[in-house]
Amino acid sequence: PSTASGWIDEHHNGVRYGLQGDVIADEQSAIQRITVIHSHRYGNGLLLDGCWMTAEHQERHYHEPLVHPALCAARSIDRVLVIGGGDGGTARECLRHHAVKHVDLVEIDGRVVELSQKHLAAIGGGCWSDPRFQLTVGDGIAWVGEASDASYDVVLVDGSDPAGPAEGLFNRSFFQHCRRILKPGGVFATQSESPEAFRAVHIDTVRMLREVFGHADPLYGWVPMYPSGWWSWTFAASDGPRYRSPDPERAAAIGPGCDIWSPRWQAGAFEAIPASIERELSA
């Protein structure tokens, strides 16, 4: 990232997306460049290979929409798999559901976990020491390829942008394995990039998931620090779009602790598909 004059920017296709602040850690791990910053507006934040991943006072815009439509709708939620998500925010939101018995989180870069635990502790919250939580530092694509059929109720893909280590998370064979390892009534969700800044990746991801699962629905929201601020998550399930109908009891237990997600917000976000994207997806 460029750090001139106290600004930390992600550069993407001729546009800069920046926060004012200070770099507090910047290193090259075996996998990628990891930068941790303190920003004036959103608290401590994380970039991987110069791209915004998260920040303390912004992460709920991203994590709640990824987790709760899936966790409020899968038939059961005993076993959850998170691929990526090394800052801990996705796991933290999953573990707020008392019915969750086990969360496997497979993160390719152990330094992301260590730096998040040190500088972004509020994001993972209590997840790191929760007895239901198991961290594996390793390749999520290999994990999914080797997992048994029907072994998870929910699979959540919380990867970085589709370059470098995350490229294989936007891939048909990966999605086919995700479907294979879902239990009946299981739900899959992935972050599916910005429909503005990463439009081609977004469209390809939704299309691929529709081919693999027979259906899939993008949900649109805002993560103001990400390129364009406009973001998406895409959902599919083993037996049709059950994620469109959150279980009222689970929703009532989780909703009051959320900043963004609610069943009403979710209903609107699934409908907020821009006309041209809807046309492109149905062409």
Q: Which residues bind ligand PUT (CB under 6 A)?
A: 51-53, 158-161, 191, 226
Q: Which of 270, 269, 265, 261 is nearest to 65 (CA)?
A: 261
Nearer to ligand PUT, 151 or 171 (CB): 171
Nearer to ligand PUT, 58 or 191 (CB): 191
Q: Which of 204, 267, 61 is nearest to 53 (CA)?
A: 61
CB of 31 to ligand PUT, least distance (A): 14
CB of 133 to ligand PUT, least distance (A): 18
What is the DSSP-derived secondary structure letter of residue 240?
A: B
Residue 3 Ramachandran class (φ > 0 left, ψ -120 to 50 alpha, else beta): alpha
Q: Is 109 a catalytic residue?
A: no
Nearer to ligand PUT, 160 or 238 (CB): 160
The whole-angstrom separation of Cα 51 and Cα 38 is 15
According to DSSP H, which parts of the chain are helical?
60-71, 89-95, 110-119, 121-124, 140-146, 172-180, 199-213, 248-254, 263-271, 275-282
CB of 42 to ligand PUT, least distance (A): 14
Nearer to ligand PUT, 48 or 251 (CB): 48
Selected catalytic residue, list 49, 87, 158, 161:
158
CB of 282 to ligand PUT, least distance (A): 26
Give me the active site residues, please. Answer: 158
